A and B are shown apart, each in its own frame.
Chain A
Amino acid sequence: MTEAAIQVGALAKEFGGLRAVDGVTLSVAAGERRALIGPNGAGKTTLFHCITGTLRPSSGTVRLFGREVTRLAESRRTALGMGRTFQISNVFTDLTALENLTLALLGTDRRKWIVHRPIGAFAHLRERALEGLERVGLADRADRAVRELSYGERRQLELALALNSNPRVLLLDEPCAGLAPLERQRISQMIATLPRAITLVMIEHDMDVALGLADRVTVLHRGRVILEGTPAEVQANPEVREVYFGHV
């Protein structure tokens, strides 16, 4: 049995009286691609926030490659190999695409503390940042301010930022949200060609994308896991059809 990349144990998160995540236990094996689906308000994004450290869970545990990280700061989890994208593009709009990538590369690098040399002096860093942009097809946008990029390009950059922080586990929060079919295909293609060494956990509303990319699927509903299985099992399950597609 391979070591679990992510283990979530009896995790709950309350906002006031609302239990957004209500006792979720799940385990994602290293190298696995897991889709997290469920209707709006199922607690998917909240669960993500608890795993990445953006939010502290009310109770329960989070383990990353066997190591307990429940109380660890988000930046420390990133250093341990956790990477994520955001549902609403969270990129540095005032900076250029190249600067965005450079920040991603420096995040887990001690050179981020250097004050006495301009960034231009790090030729190697620039090369790697350009490579990172190339990987998502944004090489020709390197010196453009991100605020001038299209919505679709920002989604590509969003993915590039997460990939270049050198993650072993990548949590993708609706990577294709709001994209036209063609762009959607492009992003899911990019995700599909990621090396298997990176464990993927992905929230996705588009069933075709989610089921096409995932090895296994976890279905959340009202903060609880109602089913976990292969894409085929999930598609065939009547309960899922009920909560996900409503009464037919």
Chain B
Amino acid sequence: MNRTRAAVILVALAAAAALPHVAGPFWMGLVTQMYIFGLLALSADLLLGHAGLFSLCHASFFAVAAYTTAILQVRYGVPTALAAPAGIAAGTALAAVFGASVRTRGVYFILITLALGYVVWGVAHRWSSFTGGDNGVTNVPFPRIGAVGIESHTQYYYLVLAVIVLCAFGYRVLVRSPFGLGLRGIKASESRMRSLGYRTGLHLYAAFVLSGALASLAGVLYVYYNRFVNPVAGSFPVSVEAVLMAIIGGTGTVVGPFLGAAVILGLRNWVSSFFELYAAVMGIVFVATVLWAPNGIMGLAARLRAARAARG
């Protein structure tokens, strides 16, 4: 079984590495987006899939990181070596503030993160002297550190792929660490965790900030891919989609959020080419997932494996 899994991972990595050689720029761009938004979905799923918190403000960290990097790089000519870490730091700092929302649970947590997300979107939208308003910040260059720089979309594709793979392995260690087990314990029974000596609020807060840092990293990857950022990056639909990607792919897994990102971005591109109401189609896909595959694609796959094993 473990050998099968290793084989699947190797094949997937080989396919990902080969993609720029066999696919055109359109597909390469779509897959790059899938990696970036998959990373955003993964960050939201650290809270949803492991700690049981449904966050609706992850686009905020994503956007603040993207804006910070873009503004520093474009307006102030700050080099990538500083602008990119500054973006991650800014998004993470915002998460450290928004993290106060872990004092609430359930629907209150959802509503508070929703409201906070709108605040950030509103600032990006209305404070146009600083953020550029609806036009946002444009002409973001490719990242360059010293003499080494990205020159093409293909090179950037590989950079994003490398970051995603590193993040996926790091994330896997994180969710299997004592800290990660603690999160799952809180999801299962917070009262018991408290009586066992866990400071559950602090535990969740730490998870929230870590999750925000990961979303910020996705935001920085996004701004260098997209070459511009506008308030859409911090909007409500982006936050919702991040969570939907995780749910469709399978929450509590590492691969699921990326699969979910592939489904949502792929469907959106395909459906919107011939049908205006693509959002309605996405809604139907989501309802179908909840009804027939509540554990997402990864859950379906596990069920198929179990069925095959049972048949002999």
Return the CB mask of A85-98 against B: 1 if under 8 Å, else 0. 01000111111000
Residue of A nearest to B252 (CB): A94
Q: Does B197 interact with chain A (Cβ within 8 Å)?
A: yes
Name the residue of chain A whose CB is nearest to the CB of B170: A116
B193 within 8 A of A: yes
Return the CB mask of B162-203 against A: 1 if under 8 Å, else 0: 000000000001101111111011011101111111111000
**Size of interface on B: residues with Cβ below 8 Å to A:** 26
**B191 and A111 form a contact (CB under 8 A):** no
A104 to B191, CA, bound (A): 13
Question: Which residue of the partner chain B has the closest CB to A105?
Answer: B196
Contacting pair B192 A113 (CB below 8 A): no
Main secondary structure on chain B at its contact with chain A?
Answer: helix
B195 touches which one: A52, A113, A122 (CB < 8 A)?
A52
Among the listed stretches A18-26, A70-78, A182-190, A224-232, which one makes contact with chain B, having 4 or more residues with CB under 8 Å of it? A70-78
The residue among B174, B181, B196 with the most chain A CB atoms within 10 A of its own CB is B196
Q: Among the listed A91, A112, A117, which residue makes an inter-chain contact with B189, where contact means beta carbons less than 8 Å apart?
A: A91
Tally chain A residues at the interface, Cβ within 8 Å.
Answer: 37
Among B177, B196, B197, the residue within 8 A (CB) of A115 is B177
A99 to B199 alpha-carbon distance, docked (Å)? 18
Q: Looking at the assembled complex, report how far the CB atom of A148 sits from the nearest CB atom of chain B, in whole angstroms.
A: 14
Bound Cα distance from A103 to B189, whole angstroms: 11
Give chain A nearest CB distance to B146 CB in angstroms. Answer: 29
A115:B174 contact, CB within 8 angstroms: yes
Which A residues are CB-close (under 8 A) to B178? 102, 106, 111-115, 117, 119, 122
A residues within 8 Å of B by Cβ? 52, 54, 73-75, 78-79, 83-84, 86, 90-95, 99, 102-104, 106-108, 111-120, 122, 161-162, 165
**Which B residues contact A (CB, under 8 angstroms)?**
173-174, 176-182, 184-185, 187-189, 191-200, 206, 210
